[in-house]
Structure 1
């Protein structure tokens, strides 16, 4: 035990517990700092006190925030408590937001540390705005449960901001803790107190759950309208994602989904049903589905119906009540799924219900059987545990009568250690709450429970049943006294002092043995801790190596990404350059092609011109040769024509002479003819000349046409002959005229 003078207050060990929503972690937090335990991890490996200096006091802060929602932490708590004497337990609560989880936090503390722990508890109300501090008295008046919590803690409380960074508030808190320590006569909560409480509650965390046989399990049926959070509530109950849930307006659950699990070690089976009033499913089909797959399966065993609602929906509630019937309504609970919204709006569930008259009436109809879930909290939490405690406390109270816990089974051994082995001969088992048997006999209960039957046999079959309701019933007292007298006679006397001395000696020897075992255990624990520390250091070294390798890998990855980015950039530039070169090459090729085509056209044109020139030269040469030949022919022809003309001239002359002679003869014979002849003699001679020379002209023209025909072909020959004849005739006529 630690004793500290009133004037000196140098060192403290404080346990802080409650919900993380009531505090804000961070480097500014004087009390808790910035480290928060991860309750969603698979396993909490250790609870390490943090040394802090607050208001000139050295404080060892043991952070147990949210620990009441964790599993398998008893050994860690036992270890930390056996190593530290606790001066005070600080229960953090958010002002105006008392939740079921908060209530469960204090009950968890009592269950783990025993009822005596309440004398060391101080409630620390946290706030976000300073004006909230003024409402604490009103909150106590409005919330009787909060008032009961405060009364349990001796009315001790303090207020501070959520960040816990106000030096003045922390100083006042330390003063109140010092006052509490002195009020407790400078006593601390020790490991011995914890071990005693643990012995009394060996089934800590599940003591509210009755033992009903190995095959007992609780059936939880989720009923309600569409999109009210039934599937999410099922996930919260089982502490894991097993039912499909989303926020869309489309119906997710179209059949009854059944998943089994445990809540605080007790087997449960959760039924997720389709929503009522869904437009894409007929209600008759939903009702038939629930009848066949739920109600038929739940006829035997423990069964509870959870009516899941967000807000009052009278139509859906009436349909569910009609489906269940009067027999099942007593086992129906209302489950609200707006816990997160209520916390955000700073409204308690009681205030929410009281503000809605229809909801208030509904809750009263179900005899205040309701619970609130915050489905946004992931993983296993205390919400499901708190609900089961409510259910077993109210709906299955009669089943608790015949429970027989492991702790109760150990009572004979504890008594033997305290009073000796002979004490069991002087023991009678007294069963209380006999009024809850309701027609069942104690003999039947003993027969059904092998462990209880073994205990009764150890006590020689002696037991008595008392009814707590009938306190004035002397008959049951007289029966107990008679059984005691019979037991004394059978044992040949009372339990003597010699037996007590033997028991004391045995207990001392047992205590020495226990101390030796405890020392051995501590030594083993020390060695284990040293091994764990070595393993932790090795793990830390490996973790650092892995972290260094991870950082190196990240650096290499980043470098590779940069290089890849640069490579892609260079590749992009290269591709752009290639594309540019391709376009330039294409343009150059097109230009070269155009130039080549132009050159080809020019060359073709030149060749055509050259061909034409050559043809022209050839034609000219040919024409020259033809003309030369023609000239020669013409000369010859001219000569022949001249000779022919001279010959014809002579003939014509002779003819003219003859003609003249004929004309003279006619003229002499016909005076009129002579007159006509004299008048037209020139024309007469000219016509005769032309007719005589036309033949010669036509011959000349034909020759010319033949020359052209040899050059231009048959068509040119025809044209040449026609033109040459006309020219020749004209030439002959002109020549004849001039001759005349």
Structure 2
């Protein structure tokens, strides 16, 4: 390679981008967007040129190698046709070789909205039964896992929420169990909504679930995937949401994080990739951390602590009333003829003043 020549360097991120863009390191300048996060930031080819140690260097930054193989293959063929010397660099972050990033997803929804089918689509294989009445008869929680786009995905498939489960106490218990099953905590709660007519039970769920999640700081880990998007026909999802006040409120509380599944295109991997990218962005907004299931346990422990404190206060009050009654009964027998007698009574090392008139009222 000639010193005065032009060198073309290809940076090919492998699924996860490095913490600091290799292209920026080579050029010695911040020319490419770089974030401290595992997901590939680059979506399309981009390039930058600079003079480095007397050479003109052109760096072409590309999308993830395993996510855009055909695009990168075409680019490489075109570059090889050039007479300019080139060097291909395959950039791999060492953590990726050790352990893939985990994503734990908890679908929540009414029976027969397509939770299990959506879970199978995400995992890319059939892990859950999804016949029409499975959600109604099943009482089991099932976990399914698979490697998807370089991530280790776990979906916690749960029975659909029937009308009996929509009261506040039962809903709290069910959601707490979901969060615990995804130990140490889910990266995303997904409220699955089927396109179609919204029932009264759906309205109750949309109204009661967001406040419950908000109370436990879980709403910022929540998004809304719609199933059966093919049934929209010519109507847009935006128009559908605008026409339903409960859907509008639900999406508003979830910060308008939503996704559309076309059930006629179950083999379309782009649907899943887009959903996982949205979940990645949501996790990034939450500091790269998952939701902690301890948040639900904290509320339960706090409730028990408050109840126990009330119980102790009640027991103390009952004990004092019982002692006072015994003392008053004894005083009434000793001084039956006195109308307003004050007695100094030593009880538990303390001096207590008792009026006979009070004793009689206490014994009634």
TM-score for the superposition, normalised by structure 1: 0.26
- Higher relative contact order at CA 8 Å, sep ≥6: structure 1 or structure 2? 2
Q: Which has the higher helix share?
A: 1
The structure carrying a bigger strand percent of its residues is 2
Per the normalisation by structure 2, the TM-score is 0.49
Larger radius of gyration: 1
